[in-house]
Amino acid sequence: MFRFGRVQIEHPFVQAALSGYSDLPMRRIARQCGASYALNEVVLDKLVLQKGRKQRVVLDVPPDDHPVGGQLMGSDPDVFAPAAVAMSEAGYDVIDINFGCPVSKVLGRCRGGYMLSHPAEAIEIVRRVYDAVGRSRPVTVKMRRGMDDSAESERNFFTILDAAFEIGVSGVTVHGRTVRQKYVGPSRWDFLARVKRHVGDRVILGSGDLFDAEACLRMIEETGVDGVTIARGCIGNPWIFGECLALHRGDPLPDPPTVAEQGRIITEHYRQTQAHVGAGKAGQVMRKFGIKYSELHPAGRQVRDAFIAVTTPEEFQRVLETWYDPARSWPPGRRKMGCGDLVAAGACE
């Protein structure tokens, strides 16, 4: 258990913000399967302030979606601060600042991980956001361990980290890769351990290479971080949160979900998505999730191909009826291994 200001997080297993994925239905499913805290998919500060359907979706925080963090990304403090106010007023429990996204398009627009090379600008954003909402909501920051492996990049990281805590942020999430690495190569857990030693009792969450429950527990044990944010590892595998909780309690690792249980959760996820985006769009939105869910099915390749072919709600429903029929005798479900691939181009973790 840890706290962001007055917001208590019951256990250390968090659903991370993930662009293109961590919408309201995904967050609800993650909570149902055991997530203690969830973040929205990262949103541009400008979008929050623009009237329209997208703004209404972002600012929709229903009573069952708590505690929830609203992750913002941008480059202009004059826009960032009022966007944080809007998200606070909408009901987000925590305002999270993204200084970690490695996507090239984002970097080219001076957002996300770009800020790690410009500490003065990053610190000004943190200061302005904290001044705007910090008395009513905890403010947190998401960072990678630097732009690259240079000594200057490391100095910039610690300059921003120390300044953020001095300003008053309640916690920082650190991904163990650099921005230049994107998702290639290992996440440096030894760096996470160093960061935690550096900040003492302040809250640090770790991120990177968390694709199964054993890895999540191992990161906490090896680095001393207060919790972990699970991103790609929970897409199509919300059961990872319950598995983490079991190991955290000292219980055996649960068996992989049966095909019937997979079908139940996918059906509920689909129902939630229909309510969120409308029946006409739900099949298309759920296609990328179905592809990830298929990795746990004993006939994974065939199920994946079936989900890839989905273009309509009716086709999505037929995949469920064909491959997740609880009346059929299925082999045991599979344990998800590794990261697979992200279906949504430009996904930002």
Q: Facing residues of 258 across strands? A: none
Q: Give, rounded to a whole angstrom, the gap between the first and last alpha carbons of the chain.
A: 24
Position 290: which residue type? Answer: G
**CA 214 vs CA 30, 183, 219, 292, 313: distances in Å:** 18, 20, 9, 20, 36
Q: Tokens 């947190």 correspond to what residue?
A: 140
226 and 205 in contact (C-beta within 8 Å)? yes
- Residue 304 and residue 298 in contact, taking contact as beta carbons nearer than 8 Å: no
According to DSSP, the residues that pair with 204 across neighbouring strands are: 172
The whole-angstrom separation of Cα 118 and Cα 158 is 12
Where does 250-299 have alpha helices with state H? 259-277, 279-293
Catalytic residue list contains 33? no
Residue 295: closest CA among 286, 285, 305, 281: 305
- Choosing from 33, 101, 216, 348, the catalytic residue is 101
Residue entry with tokens 């963090």: 69
Going by the DSSP 8-state scheme, the letter that residue 342 receives in this structure is -
The SS3 of residue 70 is strand
Catalytic residues: 101
